[in-house]
Chains A and B, each alone.
Chain A
Amino acid sequence: MFFPISGVHINPVLLGLLGLVIGILGGFFGVGGSFLSGPSLFSLGMPYHFVVGTDLIHIVGKSIVAARQHRILGNIDLKLAMVMMIGTLVGSETGVDAIEALKHSGEVNLVVGVTAIVVFTGISFFGGWESWQALRKSRASSDKGDDPKKDVLVFDRLAKAFQGLPLAPRISLRQSGIARVSIWSIVLVSFVGGFFSGFLGGGAGYIRMPAMVYLLGIPTHIAVGTDLFEIIISAGYGAIRHAMNGNVDILVALVMHTGAAVGAQIGAKLTQYFSGPWIRLAFAPLPLIGAIMVAAALISGHHGG
């Protein structure tokens, strides 16, 4: 099928299937899935500048479907999401500015690529280790009759430090089960997520979801749902900016989204059957796949940064 805006011929069935896979991942893990959809669209023949923008607008649509399902399941903390929105938008703008500054130095591909590899690999190994330890701990506690579905966090020192920051104003997050936390802790964590969204592209759920769990102490299911809400904002903002620059093929995004809508519902519903540590353990290899793809792009010279 010919898509006149980007001027490419792509099989719509492949686009739908790609959307389905990305949708399942997004609904289950609370990520945009740009680490998979970006390289896939590129390999289907789409020019890289269209890949970034088209992917972002498709992520918006898919995240709306998944976030609505998570809202029904009670997995979105709206108060947390509203505060995070401030940091996400400021961070996203700072990330885009950092890219522009690096463009002038001529080292943008190398700096962005190496940063992405280090960050993705670090998250992957730490998340894998922590969730494995948490599973062992939850197995031991379930032997004693505790609820095995209860979220268990082994490495909670950072979360306690962030929650204990004595900076006013402090708010309570009843939905997330947090009695008092400084707004500045939330803004800082969302700023980091937003920064990487602007700096590396995509919705940056691969950073924001683990950051909410490990730095703020948000239960995994709520982190997944709330992250999807944040992705609508950060990817939506990025999509509008890219669309203004002529980098969005809405027809490709719409076809891809027909598959993603089903996948997002499946992924969101699946979270009901898995405990927090299992979701985090399954999530752990994803950033590593992203790191490998970035490394491959750097070596082959195909990088859009």
Chain B
Amino acid sequence: MTVARQRGQTPVAASVGDTPSGGSTVLAHPKILIEDVMFEYPDPRSDARLRALDGVTIRVRKNEFFCVLGPSGCGKSTLLYLIAGLQRPTQGRILVDGTPVKGPGADRGLVFQEYALLPWRTVRENVGLGLKIRGAPQAERDAIARAFIELIGLRGFEDKFPHELSGGMRQRVAVARTLANSPQVALMDEPFAAVDAQTRTTLQEELTRIWSQTKVTVFFVTHNVDEAIFLGDRVLVMTPRPGRVQGIVTVNVPREERQWATLERDPRFVGLRSQLNEMIRQSAVPADGHRDH
């Protein structure tokens, strides 16, 4: 199945520097450009302001599967909310296709950690929700929803409500709902964190398959090292709060060789895993000895 993608935005000539970001890649026209972003929010328990992100610069290529790895509370979810336009950076800017993000929009879909399916809508209606919002006729909506429900292997569950599904099935529906809306960028917030280990590996394989068919740019946040290697073209490691870029690693295992059955014994996979774990360990050590938090 192929998903038609016609929403072409003309990139505004943006002042994108050619400085390498963390890794070694030079990207003149990134799909997503996060430039020197800082984010602070008021502490609900005091007058102080808490800094979740600091000096974050990231360039994500078109059609890339980009993974962000970091401990809980390092601001990686905040980063997604900023790209989605649900929150504004305190400093710095975010551009998608060269256009500054001003607010939420259909070009940047978000898959929430806790699914966020509408409990009063069936699987079919949830998957077709984005198309409904954008005024697509019923027949088109149903056809696209059917194709995506097929793609996630939930045929026969079209008329079920979310509470009648397992956690893994709900997350599949949530992914389908985002992708059925044919976004330019799919943002994913630890979508498989709440499902059991077996379901998670299945979902990861399915997501790779669906991504290869839709070729959407994916910005995937996780705290699971193996998951990041399995899914990502590149993996970014974030420091604990305030979140900074610790480094970026390119996954040198070809897609066709990424199967859980063999991958865990692959020396390249083992090497990447220890490299990333080492980066996470280093990031946890305060650089200057007296970092606040």
Specify whether A and B are partners: no
Residues on A lying within 8 angstroms of B by beta carbon are: none
